Amino acid sequence: MRKIEPILDNRMFKKTYNFFHIIHNLFIKEKIFFKRETYSQDKSDLEIKKFFDNKNDGFFVDVGCFHPTRMNNTYLLYKKGWRGINIDLSQFSIDLFNYLRPEDINITTAVSDKIGDTKVYFQKNFSVISTLKKKLAEKRFQGKINEKIITTNTLKNIINNTKFKNTSIDFLSIDAEGMDEVILKSLDFQIYRPKLICVEDSMYNRKYNETNLYKILKPHGYRHLWSSMVNHLFYIN
C-alpha cells in the first residue's frame, strides 16, 4: 500500500495541475467570457465567416489547431453552430479543446502523407510552434530544441475513423509549420473537397501565386480569395 500511495499522489497532482492550467489559459489568460470580433491571428476568420455568409451547420477540419480561441480560425464558426475535427501535436492543446469545445472531435496526432513514427521538434510542451522539420526548428527556435517520437497519420485516415467519413469538408484550416504542402498533397480531393482552404505560408509575406501551395491547389480548380502576411485563402465554386 505504501508503494501505491506515492503513485496515486503523483497522478492526482498531475490531474490537479492540468485542470488549473486549463482554467488559467481559458478564463484568466484568454478571458473567453469577453466577446470578440475576431479570434484569428490576422482577422482571417472574418473573411471566412463572410465567405460562408449565413451557413450555420458546416463541417470544418483544423490541422494545427493549437488553442480553442487564441489565434484560431474556426472558433467563430463553432459559435455559429459548426462542428468539426481539431488536430494538434500537443496533448495539452487537445485538453483545452475537450474542455471548451466538447462537441468537436479533438485528436492528438501529427498529420503527414504516411502512417508511421517520426520526430517532432519543440521548445515547450504547449507552444504555438512545433514542427516535424528539423531545419525549420533550427531556424526559428532560440535556445534548446527538444524532440520526441510521435506517430503520424494521414488526414484521409483520420477523417475516415470519425463520424465524418466521406463527408465533404466545408472549411479546411492548415497551420502545420512546414508540413502544409505535404498535408495538401495527401488530401483526397475527390472525397474531401473543401469549399474553402486557409493555409499558413511558412515563408511569410509572399504573394499567393509565388507559393507551392497555390501550385498544388490550382490544378484542383481552386482560386485565390484573400491573403494576409501569414495566411492565404483559396476557394472552389
Is residue 207 left, alpha or beta, with left meaning phi > 0 and alpha meaning psi from -120 to 50? beta
Handedness of CA 23, 26, 31, 33 (dihedral sign): negative
Q: Per-residue confidence of the chain (237 residues) as pLDDT tens digits?
A: 445 544 445 566 555 656 656 665 665 455 555 678 999 999 999 999 999 998 999 999 999 999 999 899 999 999 999 999 999 988 889 999 999 999 999 999 999 999 999 888 887 654 556 777 788 777 777 778 888 898 899 999 999 999 999 999 999 999 987 789 999 988 999 999 999 999 998 777 688 999 999 999 999 999 999 999 999 999 998
The answer to whether 79 and 100 are in contact (CB under 8 A) is no
* DSSP conformation class of 230: S
* Rounded (5°) CA angle 223-227-26: 120
pTM equals: 0.82
SS3 assignment for 87-109: EECCHHHHHHHHHHCCCCEEEEC
The answer to whether 196 and 222 are in contact (CB under 8 A) is no
Q: Measured in Å, how far apart are the chain's first and last C-alpha atoms?
A: 65
Domain boundaries, the chain: 1-33, 35-117+155-235
How confident is the model at residue 20, as a pLDDT? 59
DSSP E strands in 10-156: the ranges are 59-63, 83-88, 105-108, 110-112, 116-122, 146-154
Query: What CATH class has 35-117+155-235?
Result: alpha beta
Query: Cα separation of 232 and 235, whole Å?
Result: 10
The radius of gyration of the chain's CA atoms, rounded to the nearest angstrom, is 18
* Rounded (5°) CA angle 108-40-179: 45
